[in-house]
Amino acid sequence: MTRLRLGFFAAILLFLLIPAHAADLVYLNTPQGADRLVTAKLRYQFFAVQPYVETQQNLAFCGPASMAAVLNSLGLQRPSVGPLYPYSYFTQDNIFTPATQHIKSYIRVSSQGMTLAEITAFLNTLGVKASSRYGDSLALEQFRALVAEVLARPDNRIIINYSRKPLGQEGDGHLSPLTAYDEASDSALLLDVAKFKYPPVWIRLADLLDAMRTTDPDSGKSRGLVLIEKQP
């Protein structure tokens, strides 16, 4: 009887720990993930941004890594990099300028990461036009239309701020560029800058929006997205 009781309570506990709705993640380095990229109509930005995606250099640098990749992909005038002379490049280090360090210092970003408002403010000082949208202000239809609109424009980019927890991934708050959309599966492709953890991944828009609606404890607001536009 005791064993039956323990088995019953173990089953109840397991049921409570399993999410009611598990995210359907499809990683790019699988046959299904590769096929989805081949058939997706809105995929140009994958090829534009992917060559510039580098692994974030510490656990809190998903913001700087995402910004550097996006900025390098837009054909902007790049800052000089001493060790790479005479070539220029945006790096996770040189996006910290006197202007951006007034927003948040290198040391603080290294230990705390970045909020949606902070990454938007950084980008607006680095030669592009950036604006943010909070996840809890978006309906799924609005989010879908926004993703399609941005991905259809060669000079626009989008960075997603989301929590990994609702997706069943390890970790919590994160930032990565979104670079493709597949209409058939209603999923978007994120180029994860934490390459030591996960490859690029297709996530259903409904699941991604749920992950964006989570609260960032540093800002007290929901996570969301940053829209980036190359200035004329």
Q: Residue 185's pLDDT band (boundaries 50, 70, 90)? A: very high
Share of the chain above pLDDT 90, in %: 87
Other Cβ atoms closer than 10 A to 22: 11
Task: Look at residue 9 in the predicted model and tell me its pLDDT.
Answer: 44
pLDDT higher than 90, residue 19: no
pLDDT higher than 70, residue 75: yes
pLDDT, greater one: 15 or 35: 35
pLDDT higher than 80, residue 102: yes
pLDDT higher than 70, residue 108: yes
Mean pLDDT of the chain: 92
Residue 6, in any domain of the structure = no
- Look up the CATH number of the domain holding residue 117: 3.90.70.30
Provide the domain count of the chain.
Answer: 1
Residue 135, in any domain of the structure = yes
Contact in structure between 115 and 162 (CB atoms under 8 Å): no
Task: Look at residue 11 in the predicted model and tell me its pLDDT.
Answer: 39
Q: Residue 13's pLDDT band (boundaries 50, 70, 90)? A: very low
pLDDT higher than 80, residue 223: yes
Task: Look at residue 2 in the predicted model and tell me its pLDDT.
Answer: 45
Active site residues: 62, 174, 192
pLDDT higher than 90, residue 22: no
Q: What is the pLDDT of residues 115-147, one digit of tens each?
A: 999 999 999 999 999 999 999 999 999 999 999
pLDDT higher than 80, residue 36: yes
Residue 150's domain comprises: 24-230
Whole-model pTM? 0.89
